[in-house]
Chain A
Amino acid sequence: MKSKRLMAVWKVSAFWLTVIGLSDMAFAHHSFSMFDRSTEQVVTAKVVRWTFNNPHAWLYVSALADDGTETLWSFESAAPPQLIGRGITGNTFKPGDELTLMFCPLKDNRPGGALGWVKMPDGTFLSTNDGGCDGSANNISLWEERLASGVYLWQRG
């Protein structure tokens, strides 16, 4: 009986999640199939370049590993017109800025991913995402709690 009830709840959940999922069909000129959207990871790094160009802006950062090596990470953001609508411009991130950011990694584990949100040095969060990662206000709220608990890696489901 209990498992039947759980199955029913699961079915209804699946239905509504798929309906809600439609809003996740973002507009970009490419599919987001290369990103692992079930994994969200946070890193603090230094801005190398904010490429505010169509079709997508890219944030390139240099991150220092525990062994002292530096790696150039590449994160895809939304298109400039989308970002401008959120108050983000080509001058928002400057070379040398130290930022904390959340991303969904590339499935093939190269140093890159889809940018979710960026936490500015003054503590404010910016939604920098396109369809490849969740940078919504809701997810930022969840991440504020996680960061306060020292969590930097999150896997959905």
Chain B
Amino acid sequence: MDKVFRILLTFFFHQLKAPRGKMTTRRLIRVFTLTIVFLMASNLIERIPTGINTSLAQGFGAGYGPELVVQPPTRKFANSDAHYAWLLEEAQGGTNHSLESVPRWDGLWETAGNTHMQLFLDGYGFGGTVKEGVLTPAYEAAYRERWRQQVEEGQVRYDRLTHCEPAGMPRWLLEPYTHEFINLPDESWFINDFANGVRRIYIGENHSNLYGTHSWHGDTIGFWDNEKLITHTKYLLPADFTRWSPMTSNQFEVVETWELKDYDGLPRLEVQVSFYDSFAFVEPLHAIYAFKPATGLMAAGHRPQHWECDDSSNSYLDENGMTNFHLPGEEGFKDPRGQTLFPDLPGQSRDPIYNTTLQNQSK
């Protein structure tokens, strides 16, 4: 990395000095661009323990460890069932782990980048444009409008999570703030504290859908292939990748391969993901998501709490289709530290330590 910096620095000063004479437009642009690149690099570099900085290209939390590389399956499948069945066959039915041998991914984890935006955009950031022919026409048109809002207005106007919809899949994969991965021989529990998104993975089982409908995290089965966990998720509700990414349909299905990697002492939990959606995607799509230990939060002693929303979020979709807030004193305001339904009983305040109130504050 030092070498890259030295080269950048040399080139930068060369541009400033040479050639003799006038500062041409091209030189001006070159110097300006290099200045920005240099500033960005120097700003980001301290956050990078090792490897290539890919934070701008590879989503939030990227830049930890080497660049994320997608490994699509070596053959095409008609659907996610066929893909999962093939992986199971390749693993000769999977590895039976005991409580002693099952891989442990203990602790708190946070996102360490992903490649999902590269599936849908040419170019990175607000300069990117929606790729043609990746999404089906209806989904592409819907995404173009969403991306237009992000680029032209600086924000997508409204996020479905605002009214407390769960992130669901695939959004579970990139939402903050902490993820926990608890592996047992017969079941794994993957927990995201954001909106309390819990995925249960039933090892060595077949799919089941007793509810007769789809749900936010669907039904996930899986098997171990030595240290890798392969999962298959079906029966998902329509959702999205995030608010500035495309929507998914009720036919969205996922095959995932989870593996804990180590890069010179840097643990990174990686998941190669194949997305199938006959309504939304022209072809199945493949991406990688990653997680790194949430060392800062663990050092601070963070213990994830129940993620409130229904009783604590005051954001809503207003009559103009924009996101807005109810403030104290306004109709619709919800006070997460107010009283319960039984205010006459002693001890019913939700603010037992500071006992504050927001009433009668404006004079």
Measured CB to CB, the residues of A under 8 A from B are 4-5, 8-9, 12-13, 15-16, 18-23, 25, 27-34, 37, 48-51, 53-56, 60, 62, 69-72, 74, 76, 79-82, 84-85, 87, 94-95, 106, 108, 110-112
Contacts and interface: CB of A to CB of B under 8 A. Distances in A.
B118 interface: no
Interface string B275-294: 00000000000000000001
A71 B25 contact: no
B362 A55 contact: no
15 contacts: A18-B125, A20-B125, A29-B159, A29-B309, A30-B315, A32-B323, A33-B156, A51-B336, A54-B305, A54-B309, A70-B362, A72-B329, A80-B305, A82-B177, A95-B356
Interface stretch (B6-14, B29-37, B65-73, B255-263): B29-37
Interface residues of B, number: 66
Specify which of B25, B36, B155, B243 lies most central, judged by the most chain A CB atoms within 10 Å of its CB: B155
Interface in B44-62: 55-56, 60
Given A13-B32, A49-B356, A81-B193, A22 B125 contact: yes
A70 B363 CA distance: 5
B354 A95 contact: yes
A16 B127 CA distance: 9
B296 interface: yes
Contacts of A23: 55-56
B162 interface: yes
Given A29-B161, A29-B313, 4 more contacts: A20-B36, A31-B155, A31-B243, A85-B296
Nearest to A90: B353
Contacts of B195: 29
A29 B151 CA distance: 19
Interface of B: 25, 28-29, 32-33, 36, 40, 55-56, 60, 124-127, 150-151, 153-159, 161-162, 164, 175-178, 193-195, 243-244, 294, 296-297, 300, 302, 304-309, 312-313, 315, 322-325, 327-329, 336-337, 351, 354, 356-358, 361-363
Nearest to B174: A27
B301 to A, nearest CB: 8
Contacts of B244: 25
A18 B152 CA distance: 11
A74 B29 contact: no
Contacts of A84: 297, 300, 302
Contacts of B315: 29-30
Contacts of A8: 25, 28-29
Contacts of B28: 5, 8-9
Nearest to B30: A12
A22 B354 contact: no
Contacts of A31: 155-159, 162, 243, 322-323
Given A20-B40, A33-B157, A60 B323 contact: no
Interface-central residue, A48, A62, A71, A72, by most chain B CB under 10 Å = A72
